[in-house]
Amino acid sequence: MRATRAALFLAVALSATRARALETPPVGGEPMRVDLTEATSVFYNVDNRNSRTGVTATRLDDDWGVWYNRFNAQGSWQSFQVGLRLDSAWFYTAPDPTDTALTLLNERRTNPRAPYGPDDARFFVQKATEASRELATRYTSWLYPSKYYVGYTTRDVEATIGDFYGQFGRGFVLSVRKLDELASDTTIRGGRVTARVKSGDFRLRMTALGGVLNPLRLDEASGRYLGVTSAVTPGLVSIAEGGMPRAAASPFDDAVAPTYAPDRIAAAELEAGTRLVQVGVHGSLVSRTMLDVDGTPAALSPGVVRSADTLRTGSISVNLPDLGGHGAAYLETALQSLAYPAALESASSALPGTGYAIYANVTLEEKPVTLTVEAKHYRRFFPLVANVDLARAPEFSVVQYNAPPTTEGVWVDTEFEGFNTCVSGGRAKADVQVGPHAVAFAWIGRYLTWAESVANEQCRTGSDNLNRVWDFASGLELVSADRRSRVTATLGTRFDDTARLVPDPNGGETNVFYRELYGRYEATKWLGGPFSLRLQGWDRRRHQTLGGVTTPWTELQQLVAVDYAPRLTAGAGFEYTGNPQFPPTYFNGMLGYNFDSSSNVSIFAGQRRGGLRCVSGVCRVYPPFEGVRVDATFRF
Amino acid sequence: MRPPHTTTTPSSFAAVMLAVFISACGSNNAGVSKELLDAVRDLNRPRDGGAGASYPAPPYGTATGSVVQDLCFQGWTDPAAANFDPARMTQICLSDFHADPDARVLLVESCAIWCVACKFEYGGSGDRPSLSKQLEQRKAKGFRVMGTIFQNGAGGPAAPSDAAQWASVYSLGFPFAVDDAHQIGLFTSPNVAPFNILIDTRTMKILLTLEGDEPAVLFGKVDEVLGKSSP
């Protein structure tokens, strides 16, 4: 079956290497327009230097290659739209489980000439079994319809059947969207209707939607895929999951277990108001498909959110977009209720009760100063994470259906563990126009969180659970008079202390949980003619008391690129980490060519450090990459 | 009478043999030697020692509901009593808990020196009991705990000295062992810690596997099973 799919993939890819737009003769008085986009990536991963003695998974991410393809077709005619995206991956080479087991065994043996004993045999069998189970969820070629839809849009009504994104309010109730930085692209596959009513200055918008959550099934950074089985696709879910990747057995274990169980969702939103004030009511209900294990419903990966079989969230928002021309204000309050299978509910007294969240954002503008204040007060308010088997597909831990605001910088990755589930605090930022082309800014953030240094599902706000955080930063933005050159620079620091004493790995006890001093910059300098120089960097001095590194360490990330507009870009990157758990230096280079504004090709070669990457509080751990990749996009 | 326990299953052993044969013919590696193949075949012989009670027969698996294979580690049954001395480590197997007539539920916990959440799972905080306290509250009902440590702070395999350091910091009195070969890697990725496996010691079936520190769900399940169990 997989060979057939691989062959189908090749046929599609080879026939679609250069896509063209089509405009048909008029149909019903109007031509039909078809847009085609082909995005293709070929890469090869060499040894990424993360190997650990005896750890199988760190060998299985070396020496593999994939041709990853996304073919997107969209058509429109009158008020109708239709779209289809076919994703495919062909793994042209991948590690072998017995080779991996043999390599690990030979590394373990102190005397290569000694005869093999029972311990060696047991180790070899164990590692071969581990490797084959790991490979059952990786490096499997697939061709599947990742997204499709039919839509109808008029001024007053919008309807979609198929895949669509959704965001209600500021993301407490529903936030299902594309996050390119995290290689995440979750949609809802079902139906959505939006109706708009306008009367004078009064606007009313109503949205109702329902369906099955549909995350991306292939993770190109790791070669992992999410597979379903019939056990987790009951009823209509099986229709939505038609053609999607299925879970497969390993050569040493014929038990087939899903790594993803599609969640169902129903949600609605009502927004009404005038130009000056808008009120919104939002609600969502997520229903999980649990596995039946000996008559007991079980999540693929238990957890305070994943073990809940019904998740209800609702919120009310008030938006004042224009405060007399001097700013804007927004307030949203939300409630969340997690319901569990009866047996777990009755056995555990520590499961969280109803949670709530209050969020406010006020912007005041009085030239030359703009003041923005964001505040949050969350109690037992959790991200609606997907029903994914984290033991076998940890890369998909990022899949979630809402995104409670963090009030911090978009790139902040130091809200550890359950920071944002039990927190009070906020950030005030001031921007001052200090010149015609210069803005200086500064912010101060203060947070009290009770679930960062201890598991605290019930959000008990005693001092024994408390972390106190201060976050300071300042910087400036400069733009040249001709607007061809600009620079943004930020210098900041973070102090995160526990209220209680915690063991210091260097001896004694301390209140220090985390410290950081950092600098970020982005600069574009026009060199004359078609040439521009771009610089980007993020340099950090970090200290984490309980994170395994006993002393502070430095991280550097620098990128320099030269643009020869509009066609060519050449760049080089350097990364450094003083964390002894990882190799210290990483070098890379890239070359890009633009055929036109929407078609391009680029090649990247070298090393990229892995680690945590976050976008507005949604985070994932990327594996390190070493190798070569070629990316091309052709669009009309 | 059940056959003596082994760490391989006939079906998986045959698969290994087939795969080894194939890889020996077609892989880039020098190949699996006949000596290693013979050592693998010899695994089907009964293991010396053990707790005396027979272990459930294969097939074994790693998914919830499947029977866990008998994993063995080097550690202490009571680290504090052994004065956290690596020289006093002995072999501890999952079958030891199967042979305990008073045991009902076993928690196998996997941690690493670099793991922040593991430190709070073991040490507790404020109103959150330590792992030792959680065990003490439920031991009479048949709850057992075995902790394992698989990596040091630099990401290398844990050594007995790492196990000694960890056990002494948290004054552990329950079985604790070093997992330098990362046998728990059968269940999860090396980036996941803490990792918890709940096992019904009467059937050795996996009741739950849990990534991360989630005491409400973990001990909720423990209490659910203990509440259903009869002595």
pLDDT of residue A252: 66
Nearest CA in chain B to A105: B181
Dihedral of CA atoms A622, A626, A627, A632 in degrees, nearest 10, equals 30
- A chain contacts of residue B208, beta-carbon cutoff 8 Å: 298, 302
Can the peptide bond before residue A566 be classed as cis, meaning omega within 30 degrees of 0? yes
Q: Taking Cα atoms as reference points, which of A349, A404, A360 lies closest to residue A382?
A: A404
Q: Give dist(CA B56, CA B60) in Å, integer.
A: 9
- Confidence (pLDDT) at A297: 87
For residue B14, the distance in angstroms to the closest alpha carbon of chain A comes to 9
Q: Which residues on A lie below 8 Å from B112 (Cβ)?
A: 548
Residues of chain A whose pLDDT is less than 50?
1-19
Q: What integer pLDDT is reported at residue B28 of this predicted model?
A: 44
Interface of A with B in 182-221 (CB under 8 A): none
CA distance A246 to A224: 12
Q: Which of A102, A456, A505 sits opposite B29 (nearest CB)?
A: A102
Q: Which of residues 288-347 of A touch B (CB under 8 A)?
A: 291, 293-294, 298, 301-304, 307, 343-344, 346-347
Whether chain B has a CB inside 8 Å of the CB on A395: the answer is no
A140–B contact, CB cutoff 8 A: no
Q: What was the pLDDT predicted at A28?
A: 76
Which of B42, B64, B185 is closest, CB to CB, to A121? B42
CA distance A525 to A338: 52
CB contact under 8 A, B189 and A394: yes
- Does A291 sit within 8 Å of B114, measured CB to CB? no
Chain A residues touching B188 at Cβ < 8 A: 390-392, 394
B39 by DSSP, 3-state: which? helix
Q: Bridge-partner residues for A38, per DSSP?
A: A71, A634
User: A634, A627, A633, A635: which is closest to A66 by C-alpha?
Assistant: A627
**A612 CB contacts (<8 Å, ≥6 apart)?**
A413, A619, A620, A621, A622
- Closest CB to A122: pick one of B19, B43, B205: B43
The pLDDT value recorded for residue A12 is 45
Q: What is the 3-state secondary structure (H, E, C) of B133-154?
A: HHHHHHHHHCEEEEEEEEECCC
Q: Quote the CA–CA distance of A163 and A146 in Å, as a whole number.
A: 9
Whether B32 sits inside 8 A of A453 (CB atoms) is no
Nearest to A63 by CA among A80, A77, A51: A51
Residue B126 near chain A (CB below 8 Å): yes
Which B-chain residues 74-113 have CB contacts (< 8 A) with chain A? 112-113
Cβ distance A500 to B126 less than 8 Å, yes or no, reads yes
Which structure tokens are listed for B115? 């793991």
Residues A424 and A241: their CA atoms lie apart, in Å, by 40
Inter-axis angle of helices A97-108 and A118-135, nearest 10: 140
Contact check, Cβ <8 Å, A52/B157:
yes
Chosen from B217, B218, B225 to mutate, greatest number of chain A CBs within 10 A: B217
Task: For residue range A96-141, list pLDDT tens digits in order.
Answer: 999 999 999 999 888 888 899 888 998 999 999 899 888 989 999 9
B120 and A454 in contact by Cβ < 8 A?
yes
Q: Do A347 and B61 touch (CB under 8 A)?
A: no
Residues of A in contact with B213 (CB under 8 A): 417, 455
By Cβ distance, the residue of A99, A347, A505 closest to B224 is A347
For residue A310, give the amino acid letter: T
Once rounded to an integer, what is the mean pLDDT over residues B192-219? 93
Q: Best of B118, B208, B214 to disrupt the A interface by mutation (most A CBs within 10 Å)?
A: B214
Q: What ipTM is given for this predicted complex?
A: 0.81
Q: Across the strands, what pairs with B119?
A: none
Query: Looking at the complex, does the CB of residue A130 fall below 8 Å from at least one CB of chain B?
Result: yes
CB–CB contacts below 8 A, A to B: 240
**Taking CB atoms and an 8 Å cutoff, what residues of chain A touch B127?**
460, 462, 464-465
Helix (H) or strand (E) holding A135: helix A118-135
CA–CA min distance B64, chain A (Å): 7
Closest residue in chain A to residue B198, using alpha carbons only? A302
| Phi-psi domain of A606 (left: phi exceeds 0; alpha: psi -120 through 50; beta: other) | left
Closest CA to A226 of A10, A2, A8, A395: A395
Q: Determine contact: A18 vs chain B, CB below 8 A.
A: no
CB-based contact (8 Å) between B29 and chain A? yes
Verify whether the Cβ–Cβ distance B120 to A293 is below 8 Å.
no
Q: Residue ranges per domain, chain B?
A: 1-48, 52-228
For residue A578, the model assigns a pLDDT of 94
Chain B residues within 8 A of A465 when measuring between CB atoms:
125-128
Residue range B63-71: mean pLDDT, rounded: 91
Higher pLDDT, B192 or A562: A562
Using the predicted structure, report yes or no on whether residue B14 has a pLDDT greater than 60. Answer: no
Torsional sign, CA A474, A500, B151, B65: negative
Chain B environment of A57 (Cβ under 8 Å): 185, 189-191
pLDDT at residue B95 is higher than 90: yes
Interface test with B, best of A116, A419, A421 (most B CBs within 10 A): A116
Å between B99 CA and nearest CA of chain A = 22
> A27 φ, ψ to 5°?
-120, 115
Chain B hits for A294, CB-CB cut-off 8 Å, are 65, 205
Contact (CB<8Å) A118/B43? yes
Q: How far apart are CA B115 and CA B122, in angstroms?
A: 11
Q: What is the CATH number of domain B52-228?
A: 3.40.30.10
Whose tokens are 């209680």? That residue is A500
With CA atoms as reference, the chain B residue closest to A514 would be B116
- Inter-chain CB proximity B220 and A351 less than 8 Å: yes
Write down the residue that tokens 């005396």 correspond to: B52
Q: Residue with structure tokens 């991410």?
A: A61
Contact A344 B221 (CB under 8 A): yes
The residues, ordered by sequence, that sit 6+ positions from A157 with a Cβ below 8 Å of its Cβ are A193, A194, A195, A196
Distance of CA A107 to the CA centre of its chain: 36
Is A530 in the B-facing interface, judged by CB distances under 8 Å?
Answer: no
Residue in the block written with tokens 């499947």: B66
CB contact under 8 Å between B125 and A465, yes or no, is yes
Nearest to B215 among A132, A252, A455 (CB): A455
